[in-house]
Structure 1
Amino acid sequence: MADDHAHEIGRRIRDRRTQQGMTRTAVAAACGKSAEWLKSIEIGKRSTPLPMLLRLAEVLHVADLTELVGRQVRTMDYARPGHGTLDSVRRALMAYPLDTATDEPPTLDRVRAQLDGAWRTWHTSPQQRTAIGRLLPGLMREAERAAETHDGDDRRTAHALQAEVYHLAQAYLAWQAEPRLVWLVSDRAMAAARASDDPLALAGSAFYVAHLIRACDRAEEAQDLVTRAAELLRPQLDDDPNRLLPMYGHLWLCAALTAARERQEGDARRYFDKAAAIARRLPDGYAHPWHGFGQAVVDLYDIMIDVEVGQAGEAQRKADQLDPLSIPSVERRSRHWIELARGAHHRGDHLATASLLDKSWRASSETLTYSPIGRSLISALVDGGGATVREDALKLATNVGLIAA
């Protein structure tokens, strides 16, 4: 089981640290973290991403990583798949045209319409990476051409659109086999946002970069970035609430989930309350067209925060009151089922875990296929779910590519 893996890895790290005569504070500091962070790993309350495991192995003078992770943790638990369209997206990102284009530049309205259509596809297609992977190369070229050829205010608007195109690219690239490309598009988005001189574009770029920083186990830096971005928007909310409020609320959701993953429940709830108050100011049924902020997303984060801080029962109670069909995005709906499966796994309920993962697959096969949490849960069911769910677990593992068909 995934939790058993975390406890076993934590015990091995603690034992190796003790053998080396190193204090928890010294090891944590060498990793750029706090002693409390290392304690949460050693007692099995926090899973450890592969890059941080490698850093711990280096600090603890471990030559063979299996000494820390054990035989029961397999390479596939850390592997990330690559989509069939990844190569064409990579080539488009690496094109770097050096000559000046002579064709008619795209209008801003055309880029906006294409981008809006792409976001709709992302949220409505059960195979969103397949659909977006085909659109992204052309859409990136259009946005780049618009930013190159327009002048004055139109150029700033074009840069804001370009930043948003890269946000879509980051959503496509997330959890795939080339994390360096995710950083590349995030840096390009931030550069375009800065060129736009648009606080909303800057806040959106900060939101996406914060997710990457958090994934690198740098929660404090991620928290600082999103709170600074929120403060950037706050003085202008009354002047343009329809445009700025959704992103302002979404930044606080990001802060809340980041705090929850650090087991800082008080801060998580304080930030969440800020986001919930913003959602109540929006029209009933509102969902932002690309990042999705609205009451449904707030309800999802409420459940995710409970799962993160170990309140699986409360998460289940809230989930029972939430109609999944009220979630306007099939991608987010699929992620919702994964979060509920995670809660069921924490309770040791293998049947519910398998059933919820199947619901995630049926909602959006590609969301489950590329979800590290979903893949880990499936792997745990295959290894330790028992005979009752073995057939279902093997089918899911085959569907997402963990084992060969």
Structure 2
Amino acid sequence: MDVETFGTALRRLRLSAGLSVREVARIAICGKSYVSDLEHGRRCAPSMCVVQALDKAVGANGELISLVANLANAAQAAGVDALEGDGTEVRRREFVGLTGAALIDTVLDASDDSARASSTFESLAGVLVDHSQAADGPVDLPSLAGAVWTAKRNYQSCRYSHLVGGLPVLLRGLRTACAVLDGEARLRANALAAEAYHVAASMLLKQDDKGLAWLAADRSVQAAQASQNPLMIGSSARIITHALMNGGHHRTATDMARGAALRMSAELTDSSPDGLSVYGSLLLRGAIAAAHGGERHRIAELLDEAAEAGARLGHDGNHMWTAFGPHNVLCHRVNIALRLGDVGAAIAYARQVEIDKLPVNERKATLLLDTSRAFLLQGRHEKALRILRTVGDLAIEEIAGRAAPLRLVRDIQATAPPSLRREAREYAASLGVGT
């Protein structure tokens, strides 16, 4: 293919649409530098899925797709492979497919946003260790509630780059609210703070920042206790359990989750969806902690009790931001079976999950990553890679910049059979993963 002709057409259509390179990259889920290189003929011919994404991004109504088809036909007639250009070796590790095209310079732009992200986490650290007197000022509790809702939604949708920037300001605002309000308003402010610190801790755990995650989790528990809301207290016990588990305190984490679930069971007798969801989620968190400690008897006990709570709830909802339900229980069975080395059981459980029943993308992505790992351990590399690419389609930020998923990418790349090696290498390169 004549890559210069394609690049010229792409630039013309982009300018006609009044779009910047960054905007096209964002819409097409491509790297900014990749789009720029295409426009200047510095890249090999893109795949058709990328062409289709770019065509849609610039509103070309099929013009780019037709151009590529015509150029490919002309090249074929001339005896030239449309993907090989002038016959020189194609730099295929620079290929960016649609699934994996949201490179690090899109999620956290390598030139600007990585430094900004680092600064944001430093600001978050400053908020978490600040024990000075809270600043006085006006408090808009409904606006704070809306900001907490947005933060939780961004987390569950795997929009982590949207989430982290607003956390320091949100936490400062809630700290002021908890200090200056009184009565029911203060209780409400503390409940909101418990939620906000909870999501901060969850984000930090994904970044493997155990120290800051522990601080945020502890702040969540303190705020929940101050809210005097049993549901909020139970919900925050989930994140402190998670922090304990990630710190290697598996027995303590299991005991804490089980104890918090028992207290909830005693205090909440109406079996409301909120109560059942928090109760069941605590049991699941305890089961994961028990799996880390290899306590098979406790795993079975906690999973069975969680399954019973899921059956009583009767659906997979997102009550109290738990994403709890029968299929969520199955997701945890997948994770635990994989952790215990029972790969066949993990895949069998995964096949039972109706993924559309899972209410949040973060839970879907986690399930798919576990399933990809299970297929890899069975030596079924093609299935492992296909599922991994599906995660990229669904929630690229669940892979890019996170250590564990990127290790999975490297493992697939390193062990792929010859028939799949090039595709695995190209996908790894699209995520910024070297050999």
> Is 1:104 aligned to 2:138, yes or no?
yes
Q: Indicate which of 289, 296, 299 corresponds to 1:265.
A: 296
Identify the range of structure 1 (326-335 vs 231-240) with the bigger mean alpha-carbon deviation. Answer: 231-240
In structure 1, the gaps of 5 or more residues are 1-80
Structure 1 residues 283 and 320, CA, compared in 2 at 3 Å: closer, same or farther?
A: closer
Contact 1:89 1:136 in 2 (8 A): no
For 1:303 and 1:216, locate their aligned partners in 2 and report how far apart those are by CA, in whole Å: 22
Give 2:336's aligned residue: 305
> Is 1:346 aligned to 2:382, yes or no?
no
Q: Indicate which of 399, 411, 419 corresponds to 1:368.
A: 399
> Is 1:121 aligned to 2:166, yes or no?
no
> Is 1:247 aligned to 2:281, yes or no?
no
Give 2:97's aligned residue: none
Give matches, 1:4-403, under 5 Å: 85-95=117-127, 96=130, 98=132, 101-107=135-141, 109-124=142-157, 126=158, 128-176=159-207, 178-239=209-270, 241-288=272-319, 290-403=321-434
Please report how far the alpha carbon of residue 240 of structure 1 lies from its aligned counterpart in structure 2 after TM superposition. 6.6
1:224-275 CA distances to partner (integer Å, 9 max, x unpaired)?
1111211221211214734322111101011122223333333212111111
Please report how far the alpha carbon of residue 289 of structure 1 lies from its aligned counterpart in structure 2 after TM superposition. 5.1
Greater Rg, structure 1 or structure 2?
2
Please report how far the alpha carbon of residue 308 of structure 1 lies from its aligned counterpart in structure 2 after TM superposition. 2.2
Structure 1 residues 83 and 369, CA, compared in 2 at 3 Å: closer, same or farther?
A: farther
For 1:194 and 1:403, locate their aligned partners in 2 and report how far apart those are by CA, in whole Å: 46
Secondary structure at the residue paired with 1:281? helix
Contact 1:253 1:298 in 2 (8 A): yes
Structure 1 residues 92 and 219, CA, compared in 2 at 3 Å: closer, same or farther?
A: closer
Secondary structure at the residue paired with 2:206? coil
Please report how far the alpha carbon of residue 177 of structure 1 lies from its aligned counterpart in structure 2 after TM superposition. 5.8
Secondary structure at the residue paired with 1:369? coil
Structure 1 residues 178 and 304, CA, compared in 2 at 3 Å: closer, same or farther?
A: closer
Q: RMSD value over aligned CA atoms?
A: 2.6
Structure 1 residues 269 and 105, CA, compared in 2 at 3 Å: closer, same or farther?
A: same
Give 2:7's aligned residue: none
Structure 1 residues 323 and 345, CA, compared in 2 at 3 Å: closer, same or farther?
A: same
One-letter identity of the residue aligned with 1:350: H
Please report how far the alpha carbon of residue 179 of structure 1 lies from its aligned counterpart in structure 2 after TM superposition. 3.1
One-letter identity of the residue aligned with 2:239: Y
One-letter identity of the residue aligned with 1:136: L
One-letter identity of the residue aligned with 2:373: R
One-letter identity of the residue aligned with 1:118: A
Structure 1 residues 130 and 363, CA, compared in 2 at 3 Å: closer, same or farther?
A: same
Q: Identity percentage over the alignment?
A: 24
1:36-95 CA distances to partner (integer Å, 9 max, x unpaired)?
xxxxxxxxxxxxxxxxxxxxxxxxxxxxxxxxxxxxxxxxxxxxx979534224314415
Aligned residues: 321
One-letter identity of the residue aligned with 2:152: W
Identify the range of structure 1 (280-289 vs 251-260) with the bigger mean alpha-carbon deviation. Answer: 280-289
Calculate the TM-score normalised by the size of structure 1.
0.72
1:355-375 CA distances to partner (integer Å, 9 max, x unpaired)?
221111111111122544322
For 1:137 and 1:246, locate their aligned partners in 2 and report how far apart those are by CA, in whole Å: 29
For 2:247 and 2:423, locate their aligned partners in 1 and report how far apart those are by CA, in whole Å: 33
In structure 2, the gaps of 5 or more residues are 1-107, 109-113
